[in-house]
Structures are given as structure tokens and as C-alpha cells.
Amino acid sequence: METGLKGRPILVTGASGGIGAATVRLLVAEGADVIASGRNEEVLSKLADETGCRTLSFDLTSEEAVKEALDGIELFGVVNCGGWGGEIATPMETDMAVFDKVIDINARGTLLVTKYASQNMVKAGKGGSIVNVSSQASLVGLAGHISYASSKGAVDAMTRVSALELGKFNIRVNAVNPTVVMTPMSEWYWGRDEIGGPFIETMPLHRWATEDDCAAPIVFLLSDGASMISGVTLPIDGGFTAV
């Protein structure tokens, strides 16, 4: 399938993480002009050496930093992949400082990038596509995920409203909602037999997702092949939310 992404400038936040980096690699392979953003400049530098992408670092929690970084940048696409997992806690035990930080990065950061990127896209008048990386935690109740699920529920709501508001400018907005990607960061919790075991047994495909499993649908939603898709939240969960 021809994606139509060749030469198109696409910003990927959270590119120093697994899903973000995999998305950068796949977009570069499709010929896109990728701008990779993230907190770890050393990782971004290595990714740039590997793929030839451009890099742009800024603080997702600072409106001034986001505004300054995106000022005047022409964009066709945005992947809002920057995020933070927070803690594992019940509503009775949650640390409100952690809750505030998760909301600040995951929800507010997504909105800030959308705000200033979409202004540039509207001015350019060429349409475009925004893909927000949400989570299956926004679709079902997951024990211990009160802060993270709240932040991703907000991302899903932003996706729908942004699709409504930006559609008249031919800008599509969608979200992907991945299941667990078994990274070293995830292993400490989901790798426990008593937690991950029942979860993986419930999932029809009976396996964890990979970064590439998540990157491919993101690139599809950016592409011309998804030109009539907007306002959706797409589970990438091996069928978990269907049962």
C-alpha cells in the first residue's frame, strides 16, 4: 500500500521510548521527514545517527517550551507518544503528586503539542493527521492504574473533540490504545505470574505486544490509506477489550 508519507514532515514525541523510536524507524522507512522529540537527548542522537531523522527536544510540561519549539515548523503529521506511567496504586492509596505529574505529561502535554502543531497545520492549509498514543487502560478497568488510566481517558476525549474541531481543515485525529509492551520497565509488574498470567490468558492472541505491533497502526493512521478515518480509538490489544 502506498502510504503517501514520502517527504512529509512528521513530529514524533516520546521518540526516546520504545514505541516512539519504532514509529520513527518505520516512518523513515516510508520516506517521511521525521522530527524525533524526547527527554533523553543521548538516545535521540543515536536514533538520528541510525535513521537520519531530525531531532527536537522540549519539555512537554512547559507551554512556553512547546510553543517555542514548534514555532514556525511545517508539519503534516504528529504522533503524541510522550508519556509517563506513574505508579501502581489503588484510588485509596494514590499519591496525588504522582497523579498530577501523570496528568501533566500524558494529558496536558498531548494537548499542548496538539494546540501548537495544529495551528501550524491549519496555517499551512495542507491538511494532515494527528495520532495520540493512548492505552487499553482507558478502555477497561485495570487494577492499580487509577492515575495512568485517568490520563489516557483524557487523551481519548481530546482525540474525539480534536477530530471534530479540526476536521474542517482536513486534519484527522485518532488514537491507538496499546496493551502491555513487555519492556524492562513493564517486566517488574506485568512479569509477575499472578498479575500477567491471568491477563495473558484472557487475551485471545495470548501474547504481549511489541513496539512494532504499535508502530505499524500508527503509521497507517497517518497515511493516505486512512484518509476517511478520524475520531477513533483503536485498540492494539490482541483482542483483550473484546472479551
CA–CA separation, 65 and 13 (whole Å): 14
| CB of 151 closer than 8 Å to CB of 194 | no
| CB of 2 closer than 8 Å to CB of 224 | yes
Write the DSSP string, 45-74: HHHHHHH--EE----TT-HHHHHHHHTT--
CA–CA separation, 224 and 60 (whole Å): 28
Write the DSSP string, 196-235: HHHHHHHSTT-S-B-HHHHHHHHHHHHSGGGTT--S-EEE
Q: Catalytic positions, please?
A: 148, 152
